[in-house]
Amino acid sequence: MPIVQISRIQHRRGKETDLPQLAAGELGWVVDSQKLYIGNGALSDGAPNLGNTEVVTTGSSAFGAALKYLYQGYLGDSSNIKNFATQKTLQTKLDEYISVKDFGAVGDGSTADITAINNAMRYVYRNTDKTDARSKRIVFFPAGTYRIAGSMRIPPYAHLRGEGPGKTIIYQVGGASPVAVTEDNKDGASGQVFGSIGNGGATTPTQIQIEGICFANGEAYSGLSIDNATHVYLRSCKFQGTYASGGVDVSNSKGVTVRSTNALPCSNIVFDECQFTKFARLVDFSYDVTSVRFNNCDFATAYYGAMLGETMDGSTAGKTKLRGIHFYGNSWSNIGQQAIHVKKVTDSAIDGSGSRFITSHGNWYAKDIANNFEGVDSIREVPVLQFDADECGSTLDFFERTDLRVTTLNPASEVQGVGRQTKLVKQITLTNNKSTATTTTLEFPALTGKSIVLNYKIARGSKFRVGQFIVNGSTSNVSYDDTFNESNGDAGVTLSAVLDNKDSTAGNETVIVKYTTTNLVDATMDVEVLQLV
């Protein structure tokens, strides 16, 4: 309603116990409790009730309550929870949550956020009480694109959390560097990075957790360099570069890599549900590292999938061994060369091998891998997995390329080098009364000095056989041996192996497993293929 009369501002002062009913608009200052009141006015003037209304000041009870927090349950009125909840100041409550935007980061895709991000890392993880775990808090990256020129630095005990790899993006361009590197906790404006990590008694990178963040590089450099670090755990992260399908190898373009020294090797690194895409090398390890696991990840669009041990020489400090690199349940697609290539080190100082215990288990290798981006029937196909070091293996992996390759071409190697490949069991029908050797559809590259072992079970009517069929093949001859036990008499099945030059190209022979049967009934053969590759 309009103000109909203006006379003068009135006010009173005194103790709170002496506060009277104030006139409409009259102020009353309470000296002893430092509170301010204003008169409500008469009901006839439209006031909702008689009395005085407290004006919020720093001395008022209402102001104090406004600056305190008490958890009241998910409905906001849970009295039983309130009875046990502890009241905290608003500042204390807000300090439980740290955002990179509290340090000036913007995340709009154009503002330079490198200083703000590194300041957050500095003040939360390095320039705090290093002996007090309460200082090492989660730093939250709200959705947005955080543009940086140069590397974001990740200190010991960092726990970084974004809103998902498609929403929280750290984008490096203009710095000719990885998107992120690890550092130690040396006091100062910044910690020490690779080459100086650990100097002066600084704590080396350890106990690092990162989730829900995309590390995108707009240049042909790494997504993340894990340097002299132990116990690093990444979940639901993405590493994205600029590599285009069909391009050539660029050794600096690495999704993730490690760097170590003899005194400070990397170890215990886990990637879970992460994505690696558009780097020439999605994974590149050539420094000392042990116990690395890739679980349920997606690898797509690269020249190489994982290049392991390429520049190791067995003698240079920090470049002597890789141990225990495991790939479990991942998917791989659109990779020109090998999905996993383990290099051999010939320096005698480490017994001829710098990489061991590299395994692939339950992975899906799509049809567009290891064929130079030319399709399934390319004559330039290479092995999907290349193990040139000892004690490597492939178990229960699926290779889509093999199933789709035309029968007029020799089979391409799925796994090659030094290692073992075990395939899932498949069932084959052996047709009745085949007096001429007939293909089982089991075909393998004829590799000199390599063995093919078929662990099989044949059921034919009431007759039952369990056995092992071993084939040794080369490009010039093939030998085989069938050892088995039978129940209920002779199953009437004979297995054999022959060489076949399917595409009439010299040096590309194929080993084909065949069978003959007597006149009885069709048989089923369940077979597990094991290759010493």
Task: Give the percent of the chain with pLDDT over 70.
Answer: 93
- Judged against a pLDDT cut of 70, whether residue 198 lies above it is answered with yes
- Mean of the per-residue pLDDT values for the chain? 90
- Judged against a pLDDT cut of 70, whether residue 7 lies above it is answered with no
Higher pLDDT, 71 or 308: 308
The first and second tokens of residue 360, run together, are: 């692939």
Nearest by Cα to 356 from 423, 272, 422, 288: 288
Mean pLDDT of 152-165: 97
Dist CA 260 CA 195 (whole Å) = 9
* Residue 118 and residue 172 in contact, taking contact as beta carbons nearer than 8 Å: no
| 214-268 confidence digits (pLDDT tens) | 999 999 999 999 999 999 999 999 999 999 999 999 999 999 999 999 999 999 9
Q: Which fold has domain 426-532?
A: Immunoglobulin-like (2.60.40)
| 33-48 confidence digits (pLDDT tens) | 888 999 998 888 888 8
Dist CA 514 CA 348 (whole Å) = 44
Count CB neighbours of 284 within 10 A.
Answer: 25
In the chain, list all ranges with CATH 2.60.40: 426-532
- Judged against a pLDDT cut of 60, whether residue 29 lies above it is answered with yes
Dist CA 375 CA 470 (whole Å) = 32
pLDDT value, residue 1? 40
How big is the chain by its Cα radius of gyration, in Å? 35
Classify the C-alpha dihedral 397-400-406-412 as positive or negative. Answer: negative
Mean pLDDT of 280-294: 97
Listed ranges 49-53, 246-250, 378-382; the one with the highest mean pLDDT: 246-250
Dist CA 367 CA 414 (whole Å) = 11
| 492-513 confidence digits (pLDDT tens) | 999 999 998 887 776 678 899 9
Local confidence band at 491 (pLDDT 50, 70, 90 cut-offs): very high
Nearest by Cα to 362 from 405, 322, 407, 327: 327
Count CB neighbours of 347 within 10 A.
Answer: 16
| 322-370 confidence digits (pLDDT tens) | 999 999 999 999 999 999 999 987 654 444 447 889 999 999 999 999 9
Higher pLDDT, 519 or 1: 519
Dist CA 127 CA 315 (whole Å) = 37
Is 477 exposed, middle or buried, given 0-12, 13-18 or 19+ CB atoms closer than 10 A? exposed
DSSP 349: G
Higher pLDDT, 1 or 23: 23
Cβ-Cβ contacts under 8 Å for 261 (sequence gap 6 or more):
228, 288, 317, 318
